[in-house]
Amino acid sequence: MTLEAALQRIAQDWVELIPGTRPHARYHALDGSESLGSDPTAMGLDLVADRGFMFDVGSRSTIEEAGDDLARCRYMVTATLLLSVGEIGHRDASEVLAADIRQLARAVDVRGTWPDGVLEVLTEDVEINEPEEDSGLASATLALMLFVEEE
C-alpha cells in the first residue's frame, strides 16, 4: 500500500536525523512504523533515545477515480512526537518540542522523491502540548496530508 510506503519513508528519514536540541539523542519509531496508530502509553515507552514518534492515520477521501482500478486519495495523518522531560525540564519542554517538530517537518518538506504511487506529502498544522506532570512526557503533533494513487 502506498500510504504505508510513504509513512515508512518518513520514519526512515526521521530516524536518521540528529536532534538539534540534543545531539546525543535520536528519533525512534514508537510503533515500529508497522502498526500505525498504537497507544504509546501501552507500550512501556523506551525513551532512553528520548524522541519517540508515531503515526495515526485519520481520514481518507477519494479525490479522483482514474478508471476502474485506480483512484487518487488523500489521507490525513497525525504524527506525534513524544519526549521525556527528565533531562530538559518542564520549563524548556515547549521550546525543545517546537524546534524538534520543525526539524521533522522540514525533513518531509525537502524530500524530493517518494515511493511509487505517492504523489505529494504536505506538512500542515503543528501543535505543541503542555508536558504531563504525571507521566513526565511532553508531546507535539504534526498534521500531514498525503496524496497517493491506490488500486
User: Could you read off the pLDDT tens digit of each residue along the chain, which spans 151 residues?
Assistant: 789 999 999 999 999 998 888 888 888 888 654 333 444 443 344 444 468 899 999 988 988 876 677 888 999 999 999 988 877 777 788 899 999 999 999 999 999 999 999 999 999 999 998 887 777 888 999 999 999 998 8
Which of 123, 118, 112 is CA-nearest to residue 73? 118
Q: Determine the pLDDT at residue 104.
A: 97
Q: What pLDDT sits at residue 35?
A: 37
Q: What is the pLDDT of residue 70?
A: 81
CATH number assigned to the domain comprising residue 88 = 3.30.2000.10
pTM, 2 dp: 0.84
Helix (H, G, I), strand (E, B) or coil at 91: helix
Instruction: Provide the domain limits for residue 76.
Output: 2-150
Number of domains making up the chain: 1
Q: Which pLDDT value is given to residue 37?
A: 42
How far apart, in whole angstroms, are the C-alpha atoms of residue 127 and residue 103? 14
Strand order in the sheet with 71-84: 26-29, 50-65, 71-84, 137-150, 118-128
What nine digits make up the cell of 67? 478508471
